[in-house]
Amino acid sequence: MFYVNPQATRAPYPADLQDIMSIARAQQSREWLAHWDGLTPGATPLRSLPDLAASLGVGNVLVKDEALRSALGSFKALGAPIALVRLLLRQFEAKGFTAKSLLGGEHRNALAGFTAISATDGNHGRALAAAAQSIGCRCVIVLHAHVSDEREQAIAAYGAEIVRIAGNYDASVEEAAALASRHGWHVVSDTSYEGYEVIPRDVMQGYGTVAAEVSEALDGDASQQDSACPVTHVFLQGGVGGLAAGIVSYLWERWGVWRPTFVVVEPEQADCLYRSAIAGKATSASGSVDSVMAGLACGETSPLAWRFLQASVDAFMTVTDAQAVQAMQRLARGTDNDVPFVAGESGVAGLAGLMPAAATPAMAAALGLTSDSRVLLISTEGATAPSVYAELVGEPATSVEARQQAWLAR
């Protein structure tokens, strides 16, 4: 399914949105995260794939590889820690804590009675658990029926207490909120709902680090605002909309009317953003939600994220699980000129959308995809469920990584 958004505009970044998320706040988050040893120092790779671009009939395809952001294996390592730090700074303002002292675990004794809780499809919960372990507070994670045992074990390895429920992701969000209310715990969620927007804003603001690194890699001086964006198109994962909002807000503020064309891609079973675009307001998915793209298997649009997406995303589309698997295999395979690398099920959603969009003349025309187009994709995760990755790609992630090392050593 493909829908050109009639609400999309080419205008400067609105002041009311800048009050919520901004480049300045993203930079502050980035500076704070530099103090956390849970992240790999430096920027993640921005991979150029010329053979893939040629096969799709576009000028260039760039993929930001977030699998290497940390041992957590996903971009979520940027959001949950920042949200937890900002929450603790607000809660304990009189204590004089700083982001550096919190992430360094200097206040474990003072925070022993503090509990953070969240629902997750896997990656957000793992990042929150890792941040809580570093900081020294308690963490409870609510998992729904479709989260694999493998993902559960990866979260528990960081000391989180696991609560299992029946139902889907949206049911786990409700359960986390209920448990927090009952026990006086604090929800640190990446999706907003009525009366709950501050923490999801902080999560999304952390994701601005990805856009900042892309901007610096392609354009150098982010203070220069009078030129076109070096990429013409950005294909972004859907989910509840948090990543897309974090990236879109930064690039929209940075380039204003010269912003790139934004396309949001979702699983066909979890099409809440696509349905929101048609309805003109944040709404629910129409399908079963369950998808091989586990991190995007979300049925409810984040209302806060939607405020950023409604006027900026030029088109919304859905893809099948089979298309996601095809994209995973293509990136793993590589070519003589394209480095092979590991991209997980949710990480390849942008490519899974770009491939049919470029191959379908009507869609390509609607998006302005041409031989001059420079397309940015965000590979948001690696093999965060290694057995699932191996089954879908036909080889383990370690095999792909070995071929990557051989490619780089040529």
pLDDT tens string 267-319: 999 999 999 999 999 999 998 888 999 889 889 999 999 999 999 999 999 99
Do 401 and 269 fall within a single domain? yes
Nearest to 252 by CA among 219, 281, 225: 225
Do 63 and 81 fall within a single domain? no
- Do 291 and 346 meet the contact criterion of CB atoms below 8 Å apart? no
Q: Is the pLDDT of residue 59 over 50?
A: yes
Do 338 and 269 fall within a single domain? yes
Last residue of a domain, one of 129, 159, 187: 187
Last residue of a domain, one of 128, 160, 187: 187
Residue 192 falls within a domain, yes or no? Answer: no
Give 220's pLDDT tier (boundaries 50, 70, 90): low
Supply φ then ψ for residue 120, to 5 degrees: -160, 155
Structure tokens at 387: 């057995």
pLDDT tens string 116-144: 999 998 889 999 999 999 999 999 999 99
- Do 293 and 299 meet the contact criterion of CB atoms below 8 Å apart? no
Do 7 and 95 fall within a single domain? no
Residue 162 falls within a domain, yes or no? Answer: yes
The stretch 4-27 carries a mean pLDDT of 96
Residue written as tokens 């974090």?
Answer: 246
Which SS3 state, helix, strand or coil, does residue 45 take? coil
Residue written as tokens 């990543």?
Answer: 243
> What's 6's domain CATH number?
3.40.50.1100
Do 96 and 67 fall within a single domain? no
Do 70 and 80 fall within a single domain? no
Residue 286 falls within a domain, yes or no? Answer: yes
Structure tokens at 118: 């969240």
Q: Is the pLDDT of residue 221 over 60?
A: no
Residue 83 falls within a domain, yes or no? Answer: yes
| Average pLDDT taken over every residue of the chain | 95
Residue 266 falls within a domain, yes or no? Answer: yes
Long-range Cβ contacts of 164-168 (<8 Å, 24+ apart):
168/144, 168/289, 168/290, 168/297, 168/299
Task: Find the catalytic residue in 121, 170, 190, 202.
Answer: 121
Q: Is 95 a catalytic residue?
A: no
Give 169's pLDDT tier (boundaries 50, 70, 90): confident
Do 217 and 230 fall within a single domain? yes
Give 146's pLDDT tier (boundaries 50, 70, 90): confident
pLDDT tens string 33-54: 999 999 999 999 999 999 999 9
Q: Is 76 a catalytic residue?
A: yes
Do 48 and 6 fall within a single domain? yes
- In this prediction, residue 372 carries a pLDDT of 97
Residue written as tokens 């990042």?
Answer: 127
Distance CA 45, CA 24 (A): 23
The stretch 363-371 carries a mean pLDDT of 98
Do 69 and 174 fall within a single domain? no
Residue 297 falls within a domain, yes or no? Answer: yes
Do 94 and 181 fall within a single domain? yes
Q: Is the pLDDT of residue 181 over 60?
A: yes
Residue 193 falls within a domain, yes or no? Answer: no
Last residue of a domain, one of 187, 212, 241: 187
- In this prediction, residue 122 carries a pLDDT of 85
Residue 401 falls within a domain, yes or no? Answer: yes
Residue 365 sits in which domain range? 2-74+198-409
Do 329 and 339 fall within a single domain? yes
The stretch 349-376 carries a mean pLDDT of 98
Do 63 and 82 fall within a single domain? no
Q: Is the pLDDT of residue 225 over 80?
A: no
Task: Find the catalytic residue in 76, 190, 271, 314.
Answer: 76
Domain count along the chain: 2
